[in-house]
Structure 1
Amino acid sequence: MLGPLIVLHELGHYLVGRWFGVGAEAFSVGFGKEIAGYTDKRGTRWKLSLLPIGGYVQFKGDMNPASVPDPAAPAEPDAFQTKPLWQRALIVAAGPVANVIIAVAIFSAFFMIFGKPVASDPAEENFVVAFAEESPAREAGIQIDDRIVAVEGKEMESYREVQQAIWLYPNRELDITVERDGQRITYPITTRSEEMTDQFGNASTIGLIGVESRPTERNFEAVGPITAVGLAVRQCADMFDMMVTGIGQILFGERSVKELGGPITIAKVSGEQLSLGWLEFVSFAALISLNLAFINLLPIPALDGGHLAFYAVEAVRRKPASPRSQELAFRTGMAIVLALMLFVTIIDIAKLPIFGS
């Protein structure tokens, strides 16, 4: 799962770098000692390395894969550091953008193959037909036959949209707008928290308001390429929003850090999704690709977002940050990244069944 996605991420850097005339000294799949490889006619060493936990492209003028300039290297015309600021920024941004493009391409293909799901009768969507035994919605004043039309001011077209808008916010007050007798009424409702477990035993905490909607028949409407891309972009944007919200909740203690996952969890869930079929597996690959884009865009030195943050400072100051400050920032950023990797790996191991999950 991770290997091809990271290679395509690095390929994004490489292709945009080539487009701007930057020479590449090495393109490695994995880190550490080289197992096999060859050098192409442009002088780029393509290699497979011992540790299959990532990869990198090393452009000319860099002393390491983090794109730190080599002070001892001559200023060659095809060196990365000699290029204009906007070109360097585009080269760095190309990696996360490649991951976003992968996700958009996957979802676009799904929409083109299967079509857009639509209700056979949209007017029958989102009506409340029953309440759970413990229902914050009923306590707040919502009644049977009310139609949920908005959550936090955002219009809801389907009951699945209502669920997704509420699931992400356990123990949070949300403004739920219903339509009753032609009038709109908004109720502030505090969701209840419930831990749900899927068929593989993976637990997650969701928010509920305790309502049930009448089932509606759904059909799949054929769409063209442009519409499919638009739907895919919207789906990716919704996923990005969920990632930002989820990480924020973990940072502020609203969610457990147990919901974080690293390489071991990704491997476990990848296998589970593959057991359900290739469609589920490819959908999960799109989600992981978006996660890679999101993480790499964080403004942490040593990640792509950290480079872009330095370029933003350079654009404002009209000159780059001092080599000393960059070195300290990259060392600190690398320490943060390694600490985070260690942290999520410990969580991954602790969640394994042999440790009682």
Structure 2
Amino acid sequence: MIPFLQTALLYVIPFLLVLGVVVTVHELGHFLAAKALGTKIDRFSIGFGRAIASWKDKGGVEWRLGWLPIGGYVRFAGDENAASIPDAEDLADMRRELVAQGRGPEIARYFHFKPIWQRATIVAAGPIANFLLAIAIFAALLMSFGEWVLPARIAVVEPDTPAAAAGFRPGDLIVQAAGRPVTRFDDIREVVTVRANVPTEFVVDRGGQRVTLNATPAWRTTDDPVAGRQRIGTLGIRPAQGRDDFVQVHYGPIEAVVRGTDRTWRTLQTTIYYLGRMITGQVHADELRGPLGIATVTGKVAALGAEGSDGLGDMLLRSGVNLLQLAALISVSIGFMNLLPVPVLDGGHLMFYAYEAVARRPLAAKVQAAGYRVGLALVLGLMLFATWNDLQRLRVFNLFGGLFS
């Protein structure tokens, strides 16, 4: 019983909390944009499946808590029928039905009768909410705690490494990497980790002079305390990491928001770049993580935060801060993934609206339905593949092999 409770506390509960916050904010983005544009909303659900609690507000919106807390959704008026993927004929049928029921004045409030720009705004509001959540989390943490910054000054250049071949020297201060300004050593890791086998330009300050160096990060397999065993790009440099080398930086509200926005943008850039390399086959797809992998990382992040804590309050604070940072990173990823032009995702809806704007009529319902089926198959296939990677990474099949050998 005790091991089960420990697993629940360290893995399941943190995972559900992080995912719940990220998905709820995403759906709130759709909801608030729809409300602001006068759209009729039937339901806002946190979680799927049968409701364990529900109530209606004064506007007639049903708020629901589903028993399966792994997502959520907003249901607009009219979504319960075939008009969820409407063409011109479906819209005409819905209009006639509403008029026949004496509900003609409500037509303008139905999502599918809204102008294209309003529908696109409502759809895009979900991913935008994810990006705003990440900015808010980063800014709040920076404003509350500040951060310890390790300057990007090299202390050690390992022999027979890309850095040594490129001419890096101890004492060099890296000020630019791959065109990005560098202010801390973490900026270097962010660039190098995803650029293995990619020639990359660096600019260093060497004795007051700017020197340009070109290096190609090499693959290295490492055991990260959070991410586990993974292949990443490395240069072969190490910074000075004594207590006096770290600089504590405090931020005011405006500075924290600017820094939070910059961190969110950098995370998005890195995500897009890494995904592009994965699609083109430059990075092994087995690095892709699914729900099990995210749950494992979430548990390790919570456990890492609890290490060295002084009492329950300190443990909850440390773990909470770590989980908030992870939630911000996941929120950026979910916001970006939802903007991909794949039917069933928000980006797929935006793609259909772009067609409608050009053709001046919705895409045929049959074509939309086929697109949604293909999109759903792609998303489910990707999730299954990522879950397979998770099981391989967790060595589940090795365990089964031991049981039956």
Equivalences for residues 178-189 of structure 1 within 5 A = 178-180=204-206, 182-189=208-215
Deviation of 1:13 (Å) = 0.9
For 1:72-111, list aligned pairs within 5 A: 72-74=93-95, 76-111=107-142
* Separation (CA, whole Å) in 2 of partners of 1:244 and 1:262: 17
1:204-283 paired onto structure 2 within 5 Å: 204-215=230-241, 217-275=245-303, 276=305, 277-283=319-325
By how many angstroms is 1:243 displaced? 1.0
Q: Is residue 2:307 matched to residue 1:297?
A: no
TM-score calculated relative to the size of structure 2: 0.79
1:307 and 2:328 aligned: no
Q: From the superposition, tell whether residues 291 and 194 of structure 1 become closer, same or farther in structure 2 (CA, over 3 Å).
A: same
- Counterpart mapping for 1:111-260 below 5 A: 111-115=142-146, 117=148, 125-180=151-206, 182-199=208-225, 202-215=228-241, 217-260=245-288
Number of equivalent positions:
352
Contact 2:190–2:270 (Cα < 8 Å) also in 1: no
- Can you list the C-alpha shifts for 1:58-110, whole angstroms capped at 9, x where unaligned? 10122369942465433622110111111111111111111112111111111
For 1:140 and 1:200, the matched residues in 2 are separated by 31
Give the aligned partner of residue 327 of structure 2.
285
Q: Give the match for residue 23 of structure 2.
A: 6
The farther-off stretch of 145-154 and 302-311 is 145-154
Q: Which residue of 1 aligns with 2:378?
A: 336
Q: Distance in 2 between matches of 1:290 and 1:231?
A: 15
2:391 is paired with a residue whose SS is: helix
Q: CA RMSD in A?
A: 2.5
Distance change in 2, residues 1:85/1:334 (3 Å): same
2:225 alignment partner, SS class: coil
* Partner residue in 2 for 1:122: none
Residue 337 and residue 189 in structure 1: after superposition, are their counterparts in 2 closer, same or farther (change >3 A)?
A: same
Q: Where does residue 316 of structure 2 map in the other structure?
A: none
**Which one has the bigger helix percentage?**
2
Assess, with a 3 A threshold, how the Cα gap between structure 1 residues 179 and 3 changes in structure 2: closer, same or farther: closer
C-alpha distance in structure 1 between counterparts of 2:227 and 2:356, whole Å = 48
1:3 partner letter = G
- Sequence identity (%): 38
TM-score (structure 1 length as normaliser) = 0.89
What is the SS of the residue equivalent to 2:196? coil
Deviation at residue 15 of structure 1 after TM alignment: 1.6
How far apart are the structure 1 equivalents of 2:157 and 2:231?
20
Task: In structure 2, give the amino acid aligned to 1:317.
Answer: A
Q: 8 Å contact 1:117–1:220 — kept in the other structure?
A: yes
Please state how far the C-alpha of 1:33 moved relative to its aligned partner.
Answer: 3.5
2:364 is equivalent to residue 322 of structure 1: yes
Give the match's secondary structure for 2:94. Answer: coil
Q: Could you report, residue by residue, the CA deviation over 1:128-167 in whole angstroms, capped at 9, with x for unpaired residues? A: 3332133222223334444433222333222332232212
Of residues 225-234 and 320-329 in structure 1, the stretch that sits farther from structure 2 once superposed is: 320-329
- Residue 104 of structure 2 corresponds to which residue in structure 1? none
Between 1 and 2, higher relative CO (CA 8 Å, sep ≥ 6) is seen in: 2
Shift in Å, 1:258: 2.3
Is there any run of 5+ residues in structure 1 with no aligned partner, and where? 120-124
Q: Secondary structure at the match of 2:155?
A: strand
Q: 1:57 aligns with which of 74, 83, 101?
A: 74
Does the Cα contact within 8 Å between 1:37 and 1:46 map onto a contact in 2?
Answer: yes
What's the offset of the Cα at 1:262? 1.4
Once residues 65 and 289 of structure 1 are traced to their aligned partners in structure 2, the CA distance between those partners, rounded to angstroms, is 31
